[in-house]
Amino acid sequence: MDTRFLGRVDYVPTYEAMQLYTEQRHAEKITENTIENDTQPSYLLPDALLICEHNPVFTQGLAGKVEHILNAGNIPIVQSNRGGQVTYHGPGQVVAYPMIDLKAAGYFVKEYVYRIEEAVIRTLLHFGVTGHRVAGAPGIYVRLEDPFSHALLPQRPQKHSTEEINFTGLGKIAALGIKVSRHFTYHGVALNVAMDLEPFSRINPCGYSGLQTVDLSTIGVSCSWDEAAGVLSQKLVSYLAT
């Protein structure tokens, strides 16, 4: 996987570059019947992983509802084609965009999401933090009272329950939103490291009213953006490999 550290970049040009890269991979696909002694498709452009941070921006997913943006103020809103609702990107957040061929990798979207989340969980563990999944709410969460506790969360929601997801005592530390186009992926995951969290109060993060958002800094972990970016990129490359 070709890993590229972009530094701080605007969201829209990065989004457009991901789209263009994916379109080029479609265009450069060599059909199976032109490959001798090989039944696997081949591509001139390799799988890639973009690591960056963005200037302040709210991004809406395809299912995004305007009512989840409470007060954008002077922060721009960008409509994207990823899944999910509204989220915020800003300095101090590591954003990772895996662009891989799921068909060649040999697994499906559900496992792809699981692997991304596992990479985030292992990244947090590197810093002593225990990350948790919450059923029905993609992303990674931490216990606000004790983010270093290894105790499992009770399943949320409970099996066979029709109740809304209960986020009591949890803070969201990583948000996930992906796009899969003819088995090629783009968009990805954002891990909060040390950022101004105030803009999250201007939205219902990921469409959940009252959901608290945290970063490594607010739960007592001191690390640089570069350190967190390095660990997350390594974990993503490892867990997304076939």
User: pLDDT tens across 4-21, in order?
Assistant: 999 999 999 999 999 999
- What is the CATH T-level fold of the domain 2-240, as seen in this structure? BirA Bifunctional Protein; domain 2 (3.30.930)
206 is catalytic: yes
The C-alpha atoms of residue 55 and residue 47 are separated, in whole angstroms, by 25
SS (H, E, C) 12-45: HHHHHHHHHHHHHHHHCCECHHHCCCCCCCECCC
The C-alpha atoms of residue 188 and residue 56 are separated, in whole angstroms, by 17
Examine residue 157 and say whether the peptide bond preceding it is cis (omega within 30 degrees of 0): yes
pLDDT at 37 (0 to 100): 46
Please report where in the chains the tokens 């103020």 appear, as a residue.
73
The C-alpha atoms of residue 234 and residue 239 are separated, in whole angstroms, by 9
Structure tokens at 230: 């390095």
pLDDT at 204 (0 to 100): 95
Structure tokens at 238: 């490892």
**Which residue among the candidates 206, 231, 232, 236 is catalytic per the annotation?**
206
In sequence order, which residues have a C-beta less than 8 Å from that of residue 70 and are 6 or more positions away? 201, 202, 203, 204
The C-alpha atoms of residue 23 and residue 32 are separated, in whole angstroms, by 19
pLDDT at 163 (0 to 100): 65
| pLDDT at position 189 over 70 | yes
Q: What is the identity of the amino acid at 96?
A: A
The C-alpha atoms of residue 123 and residue 173 are separated, in whole angstroms, by 12
pLDDT-derived band of residue 89, with 50, 70 and 90 as boundaries?
A: very high
The C-alpha atoms of residue 113 and residue 147 are separated, in whole angstroms, by 23
